[in-house]
Amino acid sequence: MAEKSKGPDFTQGIASSDLAPGAMLRGTVGEVAVILVRSEAGLRAFSAKCTHLGAMLDTGLLAGGEIRCPWHHARFSADTGEAVAAPALAPLSCYLVEEREGRITVGAQTDAARPRPAPSAPDRILILGTGAAGFACAHELAKRGAGRHVTLIGEEEDAPYDRTFCSKQYLAGKEERTGVAFKETAFLTESGVTLRSGASVEAIDPLDRTIRLTGGEVLAFDALVIATGAAPQRPDTPGFDRANVHVLRSLADADAIIAEAREGKRALVVGASFIGLEAAASLRGRGVEVDVVAPGEIPMRKVLGEEVGRMVRGLHEENGVRFHQGKVRSFDGSAAVLEDGTRLPADFLVLGLGVSPSVDLAREAGLELAAREQGGGILVDARLETSYPGIFAAGDVANLRRPTGDGRQRIEHWVHAERQGQHVARVLSGEGERFEDVPFFWSAHYGTSLRYVGHADAIAQAEMDGSAEQRDFALRIRDETGGEALVTSKRDKAALETEAEWER
Taking the CA atoms of residue 420, residue 422, residue 424 and residue 426 in that order, the dihedral angle to the nearest 10 degrees is -140
E strands within 111-235?
A: 125-128, 150-154, 194-197, 201-205, 210-213, 218-220, 223-226, 230-232
For residue 439, tell me if it sits in a domain. no
Q: Is residue 451 part of a domain?
A: yes
pLDDT confidence of residue 236: 96
Domain boundary pick from 110, 133, 165: 110
Q: Is the CA virtual torsion 48, 53, 59, 64 positive or negative?
A: negative
Kindly state whether residues 322 and 364 are assigned to the same domain.
no
Tell me if residue 436 falls in helix, strand or coil: coil
Distance, in Å, from the CA atom of 193 to the CA atom of 147, rounded to the nearest integer, reads 5
State the pLDDT at residue 263. 80
Residue 323 in domain: yes
- Reference 248, options 228, 285, 274, 266; nearest CA is 274
Centroid of chain to Cα 222 = 28
Q: Which residues pair with 66 in a beta bridge?
A: 63, 77
Q: Quick one: 226 and 369 in the same domain? A: yes
Query: Residue 471 sits in which domain range?
Result: 447-503
Q: Is 264 exposed, middle or buried (0-12, 13-18, 19+ CB in 10 A)?
A: exposed
| 453 inside domain | yes
Q: Is residue 116 part of a domain?
A: no
Whether residue 314 sits in one domain with residue 341: yes
450 contacts 489 by C-beta, under 8 angstroms: yes
Same-domain check for residues 364 and 419? yes
| C-alpha distances out from residue 75 to 79, 87, 172, 348, Å | 12, 8, 27, 40
What is the reported pLDDT for 481? 85
The CA–CA distances, whole Å, from 373 to 172, 355, 370 equal 35, 15, 8
4 within a domain of the structure (yes/no): no
CA distance 93 to 72: 19
pLDDT at 432: 79
Same domain flag for 333 and 385: no
Looking at the fold, whether 273 and 287 belong to one and the same domain comes out as yes
In a domain, 433, yes or no: no
End-of-domain residue from the set 333, 353, 373: 353
Beta carbons of 421 and 253 less than 8 angstroms apart: no
Q: Which residues pair with 393 in a beta bridge?
A: 226
Of 330, 353, 376, the residue at which a domain comes to its end is 353
CA distance 62 to 2: 27
Strands 194-197 and 150-154: parallel
Walk along the chain (504 residues) and give the pLDDT tens digit of each residue. 334 557 999 999 999 999 999 999 999 999 999 999 999 999 999 999 999 999 999 999 999 999 999 999 999 999 999 999 999 999 999 999 999 999 999 999 986 556 667 678 999 999 999 999 999 999 999 999 999 999 999 999 999 999 999 999 999 999 999 999 999 999 999 999 999 999 999 999 999 999 999 999 999 999 999 999 999 999 999 999 999 999 999 999 999 999 999 888 999 999 999 999 999 999 999 999 999 999 999 999 988 999 999 999 999 999 999 999 999 999 999 999 999 999 999 999 999 999 999 999 999 999 999 999 899 999 999 999 999 999 999 999 999 998 766 688 899 999 999 999 999 999 999 987 899 999 999 999 998 999 999 999 889 999 999 999 999 999 999 998 888 999 999 999 999 999 999 988
CATH number of the domain where residue 275 is located: 3.50.50.60
- pLDDT the model gives residue 320: 97
> Are 367 and 349 contained in the same domain?
no
Q: Which of 54, 9, 39 is nearest to 27 (CA)?
A: 9
Q: What is the CATH number of the domain that holds 54?
A: 2.102.10.10
Instruction: Identify the helix (H) or strand (E) that includes residue 326.
Output: none
Same domain, 225 and 365: yes
Same domain, 360 and 218: yes
Q: How far is CA 265 from CA 283, 315, 343, 347, 356, in A?
A: 10, 21, 17, 6, 30
Using alpha carbons, select from 236, 246, 237, 234 the residue that is nearest to residue 330.
237
pLDDT at 504 (0 to 100):
83
360 and 347 belong to one structural domain: no
- What pairing do the DSSP bridges indicate for beta strands 408-409 and 398-401? antiparallel
Q: Judge contact between 90 and 184, C-beta under 8 A.
A: yes
Residue 401: closest CA among 446, 435, 429, 428: 435
User: Which pLDDT score is estimated for 262?
Assistant: 86
Half-sphere exposure of 442 (CA within 13 A, CB side): 23
Buried b (16+ CB within 10 A) or exposed e, 38-65: bbeeebbbbbbbbbbeebbbbebbbbee
> Could you give the number of structural domains in the chain?
4
d(CA 395, CA 50): 23
Is residue 238 situated within a structural domain?
A: no
Co-location of 135 and 213 in the same domain: yes
Between the alpha carbon of residue 58 and those of residues 26, 51, 197, 291, 495, the distances in Å are 6, 14, 38, 40, 15
Tell me, yes or no, whether 347 and 361 share the same domain.
no
